[in-house]
Copies of this chain bind each other. A is one copy, B any other.
Amino acid sequence: MRILLVGGNGTIGRKVAAALAGRHELIIAGRNSGDVRVDIGSQDSIAALFNEVGVIDACICTAGTGFYGAFATMTAEQMRPGLDGKLMGQVNLVLIGKGFVREGGSFTLTSGIASELPARNGTAVAMINGAVNSFVLGAAQELGQDRRINAVSPGLVEDSFERYGANFPGYDLVPMAKVVNAYRLSVEGAITGKIVKVY
């Protein structure tokens, strides 16, 4: 398959790329690195990405994050980059990219455990992840039989432990191999409209 992986140099994307590279033609997109550049917060940038890359069999997005911080002082402005990026960035990859994904192809987005078990200070991220999950449920119906779409919802992944582990006490550490498998299940399997929980 010809696969576009947006965020392919991130913590999860790197491992997904390594797992897919041998079997597929992989195009890595990233904000500051990769085969092609994209800022998923910009619709123009996403349109330019697809025009450059052309027809693909699968689009995976492992890019985007959200605000972590004190709820007492949290503002809509702090939430905005996550809304524009991890939420609407992924939505726009689907809305703009669906014409570039072959029949039988798929989208795989990324949400996360916060949608149902938010960490302290993680309400903004919870909101985004819940939104991505429900978007996928709707989009799967609309894409119908022709194109599939799923979300992978990872917990605290091994490779993030050093940086973020202290913020997630009691969250089981998820092996990278298990996370990678979830993306493979979505891309190479037959499921659609699923939230693949990896936690």
Q: Which residues of A contact B (CB under 8 A)?
A: 43, 71-72, 74-76, 79, 83, 87-88, 91-92, 95, 114-118, 120-135, 137-139, 141-143
Please tell me if the beta carbons of B134 and A116 are within 8 angstroms of each other in the complex. yes
Please tell me if the beta carbons of B76 and A88 are within 8 angstroms of each other in the complex. yes
Give which listed residue, B87, B125, B127, B138, contacts A118 with CB less than 8 A: B138
Q: How many copies does the complex hold?
A: 2
Q: How far is the CA of A74 from the CA of B143 in the complex (A)?
A: 12
Q: How far is the CA of A81 from the CA of B138 in the complex (A)?
A: 18
Q: How far is the CA of A116 from the CA of B87 in the complex (A)?
A: 17
A83 to chain B: which residues have CB within 8 Å?
Answer: 83, 88
Please tell me if the beta carbons of B127 and A141 are within 8 angstroms of each other in the complex. no
State the Cβ distance, A95 to closest chain B Cβ, in Å.
Answer: 6
A-B CB proximity, top 6 nearest: A130-B134, A123-B138, A71-B142, A131-B131, A118-B138, A126-B138
A71 to chain B: which residues have CB within 8 Å?
Answer: 138-139, 142-143
State the Cβ distance, A139 to closest chain B Cβ, in Å.
Answer: 5
Please tell me if the beta carbons of A134 and B114 are within 8 angstroms of each other in the complex. yes
Give which listed residue, B43, B123, B125, B131, contacts A139 with CB less than 8 A: B123
Cβ-closest chain B residue relative to A131: B131
A135 to chain B: which residues have CB within 8 Å?
Answer: 123, 126-127, 130
A115 to chain B: which residues have CB within 8 Å?
Answer: 130, 134, 137
State the Cβ distance, A131 to closest chain B Cβ, in Å.
Answer: 4
A142 to chain B: which residues have CB within 8 Å?
Answer: 71-72, 120-121, 123
Give which listed residue, B43, B117, B125, B130, contacts A133 with CB less than 8 A: B130
